[in-house]
Each structure stands twice: as structure tokens, then as C-alpha cells.
Amino acid sequence: MKLLLPDHLAETLRDSICRIAPECEIVPITAEGEVQGDLGDAEVIFLRWGIGRETFQRLIDHIPNLRWVHTISAGVDHVLFPELTKSDITLTNASGVFSVPIAETVLTYMLAVVKRLPEFFDQQRARRWHKLGLRELHGLTAGILGLGAIGTEVARLCRAFGMHVLGLRRHPHPSQHADEVLPPNRLHDLLARSDFVVIALPLTKQTQGLIGRAELAAMKPDGWLINIARGPIVDEGALIEALQEHRIGGACLDVFAEEPLPEDSPLWNLPNVIITPHNSWSSPYLQRREAELFLENLRRYVAGEPLLNVVDKRAGY
């Protein structure tokens, strides 16, 4: 069995892979998507982060016998193209791998807001001693758009802080970590009731631009928007206007319409914005979690068992 693996993982995983698939042959993929050797009989790609859609499409054009693609990311918007969507190739993602660090980042944002940490940091730099009135997360409402692995972990942590949790998902069956789960047609209801709105959705045709002027207007005047999903889910121009005019409390943003965020973006200078550079996923444990997931799926693949995290390619997640 021939497999294509990220070059930074190829040697690390070689022994484990070959124990699962004794006839294995591993071909490294560079960060630029370059590979060497004959790919005609390759069956599996473990796709590294940073390889764009066009590069990935060119790559698989040379792999006629490809049967399974596993992405190193949870989101798959960057690899889905019509030919792959229509094909019989199985696509799996890294759902669950990033849940802990991203959910912890979301709670860090929330705590920074209610405990006014940015203002205290400014005072520290100015050597100013001035007490501020603070709030508690306990009793506030978190509205979470998307209750996948990340959204569910965010909900669990919010409940641990005594928050009321509203969830929104396409099929609104109950969640043990949410007080209420609402269908998509009640988005504005969720927005109006939430002190923090957390976007934890995949980027699809249905979610692109989901949060626009009307949705921002539906939020509480002191509500905060948190986006750790994908930038294009939010109309960034409408968000900037709402922030500049103080129609919402603020925004904590890890993702943007254009990344890196341009230096001339008004978001940089707004006092009611917290910016992180698409960094919420970072953790020293990611490589281990990624490897464990891929190896378990490889075992299932070799044994003919159902794979974990199979993506509905037409739905986009």
C-alpha cells in the first residue's frame, strides 16, 4: 500500500504505519505539495495544512487509484472542488483534534472581556493604578452557532462556568451541554438572547456571509461576537461598521476574510476588538492527536471497517 504523508510526519509515523499495513510504502509531501516518485498506485493521502485547492487538485490528478484522503484540518473548504465532491474518494477530517485548544481560547476571550483584561494591560503599561468594575461569566448566555466537536466543547466549558448555553444546528436534537438547541430559522432569536455569540460552523455555501448587517443588528447592544471558525462566515465590512458605531459590545476574532489581516484593516485599531492570528488551534499535543486519529483510521481502512470523521462532501462538513 502506497501512502502520501506530510514530510514532517513521514519518518515519525513510518513504523506505526507499517505495523498496520506491512506492505506500506510512504511518500513524503512537502509544504508546497511537491512529491517525488510514481504515484499511480497510491491509495491514501494524509493531506498537510497549507496545501491549497489548486495544488491539491493537481496532485490528485496524478493519482488515479486514490481511495481515501485525510485532512490535517477540521475544516475542508480549502480542499473541496467539484471533481472530488463527485468522486468515490472518501474524505475524512481532523474533527476533535482541535476542540480543546480552540474551546479554551473561546473561554479566554470571554474572561478577558468580563474581567476587562485589555484595559488592565493598558493601565499596566501606563503604570496607572485604577480599579474597574468587573462582571462574571456565571449567569451570562452563550449562543453557539454549530455544535460539532468544537462547539460542543465550548458549550461544556461554558456550562462549567455557570453560563446558560444556547446552541444552533441544522438538526436541533438535544445536547447534554446546551440548555436549548435551536434550528437555523431561529438564528435571530439566539442572537438577541446571547451575551456572547460564538461561531463554530464550517464554511459552506450556506454559511458564507451568514452573519451580516441584519444579524449584527439582532445582537444585544453589549453582546460580543467570537469567531474561531472561518472569516467569510461574517460580513467583515458590516462587522467593522457595527463595531465603530458601538452597535455591539465588541468582537474577538481569530479568523478573517483575508489572512494575514491587512495592516490597513480598521480592525487593528478598534478598542472593542481582540485579535489573534488564526492561532486558537495551537497546542503542544496536536501532532500526537493527529497521529492517533490517522493511525486508527488507517487500521479501520485496512480492516475494511467504517472510518471516523467521514465528511459529507456535498454538505461540506
pLDDT tens digits, one per residue of 66-121? 999 999 999 999 899 999 999 999 999 999 999 999 999 999 999 999 999 999 99
- The average pLDDT across 243-253 equals 98
Is 83 in the active site?
Answer: no
- Residue tagged active-site, from 259, 288, 292, 305: 259
Backbone angles phi, psi at 176, to 5 degrees: -65, -15
What number does CATH give the domain 99-275? 3.40.50.720
CB 162 within 8 Å of CB 138: yes
Secondary structure class of 42 (helix, strand, coil)? strand
Q: Is the link from the previous residue into 260 a cis peptide, with omega within 30 of 0?
A: yes
- Kindly report whether the global pTM for this prediction surpasses the value 0.85: yes
Topology alike, domains 2-97+284-303 and 99-275:
yes
Would you list the domain boundaries of the chain?
A: 2-97+284-303, 99-275
Write the CA distances from 130 to 55, 122, 123, 133, integer angstroms.
Answer: 54, 11, 8, 10
Q: Which residue in 169, 193, 230, 290 is the catalytic one?
A: 230
Mean pLDDT of 18-26: 95
Name the active-site residue from 278, 289, 299, 300.
Answer: 278
Strands (E) located in the chain:
2-6, 25-29, 42-47, 68-71, 90-92, 141-145, 164-168, 180-182, 196-199, 224-227, 250-253, 273-275
State yes or no: is 259 an active-site residue.
Answer: yes
Topology of the domain comprising 2-97+284-303 = Rossmann fold (3.40.50)
CA 262, 264, 268, 272 torsion: positive or negative? negative
116 is catalytic: no
Q: For 103, which DSSP code?
A: H
